[in-house]
C-alpha cells in the first residue's frame, strides 16, 4: 500500500490541472496563462515577478513570456518598482476580474467534485497528513543539500 502513495500524490496535480484545463478551454486560456493569472490574484497585487514565479514553481525567465502575453491581452500590468527600476511589480487590470471570477467558479466546482465523499474532518486530517509529508520532504531535501556528514 505505501508503495502506491507516492504515485497517487504525484498523479493528483496532473489530474487536477487536466480537469481544469478542459473546463477552462472555452475561456481561451492556456494552462500557463490561467495558472499565472490565478496565482497572481491569490498572491495579491503589487508583488515582484520573482515572487509570482516562486509561488507557481517556475523560473522567472519562463514567466516573463507568459506575462507579456497576458499584458498584450490587457489582463496584467507590469510596473517598475520605485526602489529598483529593473524589478517589475505585477497588477491585474479591471478586465481581468470578470475572467478571474469565471476561473474561480470553475475551480470551486471542480474542487467540490474532487473532494466529494470527504467530510470536513477528513479534509482537516488530510491537510495535516500532507503537511507532515511535505515537512518531512523539506527536511530530507535540506539534509541532502547540506551533503554527507563526515
Report the alpha-carbon distance of residue 48 to residue 87 in Å, rounded: 7
CB 49 within 8 A of CB 78: yes
**Host domain of residue 75:** 17-111
CATH number at residue 63: 1.10.10.10
Look at residue 72 and tell me if it is in a domain: yes
3-class secondary structure, 91:
strand
31 closest CA partner among 43, 41, 40, 19: 19
Task: Per-residue pLDDT tens, the chain, 150 aa: give them.
Answer: 667 888 999 999 999 999 999 999 998 888 899 999 999 999 988 988 889 999 998 988 889 999 999 999 999 999 987 777 677 899 999 999 999 999 999 999 999 999 999 999 999 999 999 999 999 999 999 999 887 654
pLDDT at 150: 45
Look at residue 141 and tell me if it is in a domain: no
CA atoms within 13 A on the CB side of 50: 3
Look at residue 90 and tell me if it is in a domain: yes
**Helices first, then strands: H and E counts in the chain:** 6, 2
Look at residue 71 and tell me if it is in a domain: yes
What total number of domains does the chain contain?
1
- Predicted TM-score (pTM) of the model is 0.76
Amino acid at each position: 500500500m505505501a508503495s502506491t502513495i507516492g504515485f497517487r500524490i504525484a498523479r493528483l496535480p496532473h489530474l487536477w490541472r487536466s480537469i481544469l484545463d478542459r473546463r477552462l478551454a472555452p475561456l481561451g486560456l492556456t494552462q500557463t496563462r490561467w495558472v499565472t493569472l490565478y496565482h497572481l490574484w491569490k498572491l495579491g497585487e503589487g508583488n515582484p515577478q520573482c515572487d509570482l514565479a516562486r509561488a507557481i514553481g517556475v523560473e522567472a525567465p519562463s514567466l516573463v513570456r507568459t506575462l507579456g502575453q497576458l499584458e498584450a491581452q490587457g489582463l496584467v500590468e507590469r510596473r517598475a518598482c520605485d526602489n529598483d527600476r529593473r524589478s517589475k511589480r505585477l497588477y491585474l487590470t479591471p478586465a481581468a476580474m470578470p475572467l478571474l471570477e469565471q476561473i474561480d467558479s470553475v475551480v470551486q466546482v471542480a474542487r467540490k467534485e474532487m473532494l466529494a465523499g470527504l467530510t470536513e474532518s477528513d479534509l482537516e486530517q488530510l491537510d495535516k497528513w500532507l503537511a507532515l509529508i511535505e515537512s518531512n520532504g523539506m527536511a530530507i531535501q535540506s539534509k541532502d543539500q547540506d551533503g554527507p556528514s563526515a
